[in-house]
Amino acid sequence: MKNKNFVSGFVSVVGRTNVGKSTLLNALLGEKLLIISDKPQTTRNNIRCIFTDDEAQIVFMDTPGIHRPKNRLGELMIDKVAQSLANTDVILLVLENDLQIGGRDKMLLEKLAQSNKPTIAIINKADKMTQEDVLYKINLLKEYDYIDEIVPLSALTGKNVEKIIPLIKQYLQKGPMYFPEEMITDMPEKFFVEEMIREKALFFLQEEIPHGIAVEVFSMKERTGRDLMDIEATIFCERKSHKGIVIGKKGEMLKKIGIKAREDIEKFLDIKVNLQLWVKVRENWREKQYDLTDLGYQEKD
C-alpha cells in the first residue's frame, strides 16, 4: 500500500556537455539506461527515467548538455532543455569539478534564476578534488542564493550519490504515482536499442564523425518458440566519405560496433539477439526538418 505521505514530481537534470549527467542518473537508478561517452552532446533528447520507492516517485528528465548550437539539431537540443525547465518541480544542476563558474554555467544559472524552482547543485567528480578545492567551489556556488543545496559527489564511484534521493524528496509535494512502480522509463525499447548502437559508434569512431551519426531501428522481431530476437538497424552518416569509415576495412569497424552493441542489447532485453547493421548516407541531416522529424529529434507538426 502506498505511503499516505507519498510524494512525487519531475526533476530536470541539467548542465554543460560532458559533466556526467547520464552517469549520475544511471547511478541513482541502479541501471545502465543512458548512454555514456566522452564525446560532447551525447544526449540529444529529453529522456525520462523513473525512480520509485515506498515514499516517492521521482521522474528524472535527462536533458542535452548546454552548448553553442552549430546546426538545427543543436538548436532543438537547447529548446529541449528550456522545455524541461518549464515543466519541472526540482532542478538538479550538474557541474564540473573545475575551480570556476564558466560562461556556459553562468548562462544556465541565469535561466535557473528565472525558473523559481528548488535547485540542487551537484559538483561531480569531486573525488578528483582536494578538500580545499571542494570548499572553494562550494563557496563560489553559495553566491547564487537561489541554489538550495550543494552536494559534492562522484557519479562514477558512487561516493555521496546516496544523498541525492532523500534531498529531492524534501522538495516534492504529496502527489500521485504517475507510472507503475516497476517502470524505470516510459521510453520504448526501440529507443534504447538505437541509443546503445549509437553509444558504440561514438566509442569507436573518429572525433569528426560521431556528431553526424544517427541510428534507426526498423525491425525488432522475436522468433516464435526461440529465445532469440532479430534486430535490424541503419546507421546514418552525413557524408559519403564517412560511410567507408563507419564500415571500416573489410567491414571491421561495423563489426566491432555491432558486437559491442549486441552485448549491451542482450543484457537490456534479457534475450539473445541477432543484430544486423547497415550504413547509409543522409547528407546534412542535422539541418533538415524532414530528417530531424523522421529520426525522432523533432515532433511532427
172 is written with which cell numbers? 516534492
Q: How far is CA 146 from the centre of its chain?
A: 25
Task: Give me the helices (H) in the chain, please.
Answer: 21-29, 72-86, 103-115, 131-142, 164-170, 189-204, 240-247, 252-269, 289-294
* Domains of the chain and any CATH numbers: 7-174 (3.40.50.300), 189-294 (3.30.300.20)
Is residue 220's pLDDT more than 60? Answer: yes
pLDDT of residue 49: 86
Greater confidence, 237 or 65? 237
Q: What is the pTM of this model?
A: 0.71
Is residue 159's pLDDT more than 70? Answer: yes
Is residue 43's pLDDT more than 50? Answer: no
Is residue 40's pLDDT more than 50? Answer: no
24 is written with which cell numbers? 549520475
pLDDT of residue 41: 44
